[in-house]
Amino acid sequence: MAERPKILVTQKVPDPAYPLLEAIGDVEANQEEGVIWPNDELLRRGPGHDYIYSLLTDNIDARFLETCAAGTPRLKMVANMAVGYNNIDVDAATRLGIAVSNTPGVLSDTTGDLAFALLMTTARRIPEAERYLRAGKYKGWGPLLFCGAEVHHSTLGLIGAGRIGKIMAKRASGFDMQVMYYDVYRMTPEDEAAYHMTYMPMDEVLKQADFVSVHTPYMPSTHHLISTRELSLMKPSAILINTARGPIVDEKALVKALQSGTIAGAGLDVFENEPAVEPELMTMENVVILPHIASASLKTRTLMATMASDNIVAHFHGQRPPNIVNPEVFG
């Protein structure tokens, strides 16, 4: 019988994830909800585990991986409970023979729902209007009171047309929106027709869209993909939505664009230096900000949690993890 592996779960996750892990190994878990171990604590606890169950807020860098690879038992796999894995040095993991997995697919619809909700609430100034009402300032209906932007029949520009981008296009069709997109990989004509999407160069998407929604993965080539030049191409009435990754948008450039009226507003679920947010964004009435909750439905987060566990269980049984990021380490 194989020796029971040692598994470290770095943050509190939905309960159904744990029995899957406990069935195969000895689990050490951070059970303090909302507590993220700092780098030195993570580095102290990591060595001596076969598997690390991580989240996107954990810094799984080369130093951490090398330290854990030198431990006994040796680290075999990092299972990230997230679609993105830019928090993990995958090149270092591959060099050390450590498998890395993620949890794609299950959160696409939920994230698309939140992205479209963010578009709607920003356009119609809903949080601003609610704050006004709660503050006791409402004295009666007025013809100019909180007039916002039209959503129906407007133009949605997507930067990135993967799973979530396509879902946004489907949501937009219910509002009779014209949808244009830019992606490094252009869709087939059949898919463009099916999703009612028109391909355009990125600059044209920025120039023509009433709403620009970011759905590209974060990688070195997309760092500050949206910065001063790109924001200057957008309409003064346009609204930027970002539910992808914070560093895709140059946050300081966005602040300046909002302050100067270069664009009309922004809806943000992610930030460049999370959990820190540019202080000016916190005070702007034309910005809706959320604490990275795009996938935060109980059903979706539970599916993500059990998927991460399933990846570990598969590896333990000598099977290729369903969502392995670096399959070359698995032979």
Q: Read off the pLDDT of residues 180-205 as tens digits, 9 standing for 90 and up.
A: 999 999 999 999 999 999 999 999 99
Give me the helices (H) in 196-289, please.
Answer: 202-208, 228-233, 251-260, 279-283
Is the predicted pLDDT of residue 331 greater than 90, yes or no? Answer: no
The CA–CA distances, whole Å, from 192 to 116, 134, 170, 181, 199 equal 20, 44, 12, 10, 8
- Enter the tokens of residue 280: 């000016």
Examine residue 73 and say whether the peptide bond preceding it is cis (omega within 30 degrees of 0). yes
The CA distance from 87 to 55, in Å, is 8
Residues in a beta bridge with 113: none
Query: What is the per-residue pLDDT across 218-271, written as a single tens digit (0 to 9) for each?
Result: 999 999 999 999 999 999 999 999 999 999 999 999 999 999 999 999 999 999
Cβ pair 54, 79 in contact under 8 A:
yes
Euclidean distance between the first and the last CA atom of the chain, given in angstroms as a whole number: 23
Rounded CA gap, 236 and 128, in Å?
20
Query: What residue type is assigned to position 186 of the chain?
Result: R
Maximum distance among all alpha carbons in the chain? 75
Q: Which two tokens stand for residue 15?
A: 């309960």
Structure tokens at 201: 């160069």
Query: Quick check: 1 pLDDT over 50?
Result: no
Exposure string over 304-317, b if 16+ CB within 10 A, otherwise e: bbbbbbbbbbbbbe
Report the share of the chain in percent with pLDDT over 70. 99
Answer for the pair 78, 52: CB distance below 8 angstroms, yes or no.
yes
Contacts of 3 (CB under 8 A, 6+ apart): none
Give the separation between CA 277 and CA 246, rounded to whole angstroms. Answer: 10
pTM metric for this prediction:
0.91
3-state secondary structure of 96: coil
Q: Which of 51-55, 71-75, 90-94, 211-215 has the lowest mean pLDDT?
A: 71-75
- Kindly list the catalytic residues: 245, 274, 292
pLDDT bin (cut points 50, 70, 90) of residue 330 is confident
Instruction: Read off the amino acid at residue 67.
Output: T
User: What is the per-residue burial (b if ≥16 Cβ within 10 Å, else e) of 175-205?
Assistant: eebbbbbbbeeebeeeebeebebeebebeeb
C-alpha–C-alpha distance, residues 8 and 191, integer Å: 42
Residue 113: other Cβ atoms inside 10 A: 17
What local confidence, expressed as pLDDT, does residue 71 receive?
87
Q: Return the amino acid letter for 302.
A: T
